[in-house]
């Protein structure tokens, strides 16, 4: 129905093109203002890696410190308990050498 000799098609194909103006300077400015998020991320990737590594080290150090602190608390509490026990034992032994300071609690707890 529509052969290549169709005058409408010929007229459409031979319509002089609208070319507009080449505005590369404007486009270049726009490109400079808007770098892609991906390329920005790609450029910032080494920085992100460094920051991530530093945070990981800090976290590990903090965790280790907390663990050490907990251990020292437990140790100091254990030490205090031991010293209290030794002092009580020594006091009891000094007042009456035959009394075992643990005898009463054992008797109370026994059925």
Partner 1 sequence: MGASDWIRWVALAREGDKDAFHRLYSATRPRLFNAVAHLVEPGLAGEIVQRAFVRAWERLSDLAEDASFASWLRRIAVNLIHDHWRRERHLVEVPDDDSTQAIVDPGPDPLALWESNCEASTLRRAIGELPPPFREAVVLHYLDDLPVEEVARILDVPRGTILSRLSRGRARLRLSLAPVSEVNP
Binding site residues, partner 1, CB under 8 A: 1-3, 5-13, 15-24, 26-28, 30-31, 34-39
Q: How far is CA 110 from CA 40, 58, 90, 99, 107, in A?
A: 75, 52, 25, 18, 5
Minimum gap (Å) between residue 65 Cβ and partner 1: 43
Minimum gap (Å) between residue 41 Cβ and partner 1: 11
User: Which residue, 34 or 94, has its beta carbon nearer to partner 1?
Assistant: 34
Q: How far is CA 82 from CA 75, 99, 100, 106, in A?
A: 10, 19, 16, 19
Minimum gap (Å) between residue 50 Cβ and partner 1: 22
């Amino acid at each position: 129905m529509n052969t290549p000799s169709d005058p409408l098609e010929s007229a459409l194909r031979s319509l002089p093109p609208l070319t507009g103006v080449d505005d590369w300077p404007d486009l270049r400015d726009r490109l400079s203002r808007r770098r892609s998020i991906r390329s920005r991320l790609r450029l910032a990737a080494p920085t992100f890696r460094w920051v991530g590594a530093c945070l990981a080290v800090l976290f590990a150090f903090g965790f280790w410190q907390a663990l050490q602190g907990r251990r020292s608390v437990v140790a100091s509490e254990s030490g205090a308990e031991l010293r209290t026990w030794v002092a009580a034992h020594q006091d009891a032994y000094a007042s009456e050498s035959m009394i075992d300071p643990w005898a009463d609690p054992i008797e109370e707890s026994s059925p």
